[in-house]
Chains A and B, each alone.
Chain A
Amino acid sequence: METAIISGKGGTGKSCIAAAFASLLNPVVLADCDVETANLFLLFDPLPEETQVFIGGRSAHIDGTLCTNCGLCMEYCRYDAVYLSDGQVAIDEANCEGCGLCSRVCPRQAIAMVDNDKSRLYSGSFRHGQMIYARLAPGEDNSGKLVGLVREKASALALDKQIEDILIDGPPGIGCPVMSAITGVDRVVIVTEPSMSGLLDLQRLLEVVNGFGPSTWVILNKHDLHPAMARRIESFCRKSGIAIAGKLPFDPLVPEAMVHCKSIIEWAPHSGVARELKKIWNTITNQTDNNLWKHKTRVSTPD
């Protein structure tokens, strides 16, 4: 079973909740798909057993000895990535999208496309099973592709180590990396918080998720910080037919656990938040399994 935990808005507590579920599942394959700013390895300190290089696109490099400054590349580039520096044509790396058109049009073959090879994918064991995480080099493209690679690795490890559950800690936003993190999963858990931004980001995220069709759950984190807004989000979910798996209160124990590099389940297993998280996990798994079971019987019934 693959479960993805996502949130449109950052900082809603997605990683802390993913860490808690990982402690509950034990053994689990934990895939940190927040490849731009991976954090779970800080809590779980996995033993890096394997490192892979990820090519996150390409960028153009000009050979100054061949370039005649004809400016054709500048004319064709649509990203303002070619500019004149003291009369010499140069590439602006921040703007270059790696399309390679400049190197195609160059009459002197002075522009080479070089692989961006600074991103890495790590995998190894940790105290609750296996873990995969990645590090996208700053400014590099294709984080969606890297997310896909992290998930591929997770599936391979799950098969290899005979572990049933894969837990995905997803990236923020609504873009390509998120779609890559939830494609084909069995369950999606959206973590949100009771604020105006929390509600708006949840609505935008649902537009994306609805296209994918797995069973979807919402966890309302820190609900007591703004009870009225929490009610508004609850009623929005009811109207849209999205089940709320549970609500978590704001509790200083959660950041405290993080500071000690523990999940809340490990740090305070008998706290209210930990108990609530266990309940939430049971709700999600029982319901999803029931649905799947129903689905399976329906499919296997002969006409």
Chain B
Amino acid sequence: MSTLTDPPKEQFRLSMLLYDTRYRSGTIQVIAMFGFMLLAAWLINNTLSNLAALGKPIDFGFFSEPASYDINQRLLEYTSRDTHLRAALMGLLNTLVVAVLGCITATVLGVIIGVLRLSSNWLVARLMTIYVEMFRNVPVLLWIVFVMAILIETLPAPSAFRGESPEATMSLMDSVAVTNRGVYIPEPLFSRSLGDIHLLGQSSLRFDVSLDLIAILVVLGLSLWAAHRVTLRANRIQEATGDRPKTWHVRTAIIVGPMLVLLIALGFHLGYPALKGFNFQGGTHLRNSLIALWLALSLYTAAFIAEIVRAGIMAISKGQTEAASALGLRSNRIMRLVILPQALRVIIPPLISNYLNLTKNSSLAIAVGYMDITGTLGGITMNQTGRELECVLLLMLVYLAISLSISAVMNWYNEAVKLKER
């Protein structure tokens, strides 16, 4: 005869913290936490005592002091009497400008090169391979200073444009001047401008919003929406009757017409650069530093993007194309409906991480004197105020914020295009 009894309750012993897998992970985590806190406390303690010895307690007050240095390439209005905070803001905007410009050109170039590398043309495919290997295997910093040297050494000086028979002439019907001090392009001007709104008063973060720009954006948005409605209506008619009405002329008229009316109403014209004295006046001046950085980053990143695009296209099996054409799709629809959606799933994640790399590489602007956030906050501001800790930490935080927002976009995209299985 047997009786059922509970298994004997095991007494908790101290050694179980080490030998029992139920408790051991807790022990390890407590030790890891303890070690981490100890390290952090040691570093902070060292830092505080060192700063105290140097007489520089952590203080962000320097941000409201006048920066007293100039930033020659900038988006908003800024003078050397403005504060360090405003200088850092200019730097941040400059970083974003070169990053966005670079991402756009790198993508365009990279896609072209990636497709050409797969071309059936032997010579073109080889040339593109040489391009990719040449740019991938030489440091980007070297490319940046190299492009800067090309701009400075080989382009004509502004003085070469002067005289009866000048050595250099402006390109694109006298509208663009390419000189060794930078490129001058026409700027958009409005003779009957609606004016600006001044936001945030006199603070360091003040900025002006042009009402003209807002009007243009609003009209553009409305006409795109209207054009979209026309397409939807055409789809409905096609589904109901089987005939698709021609819509392209209506859509073009809807998009172009209101915009033309608005531009004429605002008195839109271009301000051309013209040689006055020793330099060009008028127009928008893109300095060498911006162009060198932009060009070098685009060319360098394009080599990586080309490889990604090539891998993405090669990853789609030929059967997909054949199946799609067996269904009776035309070749541009095969590309749009079958190949691209699948290739993009392979291409986009590494593409975005290359955008991230480009943004981080834009910090090399300091080598050519382009005043991005590294050049302002991590460069002149840091050297002038001697606040290394505050400046470098803030600089890191700014880049971290940019990187994390880019990776948030990437995660969102990955979730959206993930294969939905079962």
Q: Tell me, yes or no, whether A binds B.
A: no
Interface residues of B (CB under 8 A from A): none
Interface residues of A (CB under 8 A from B): none
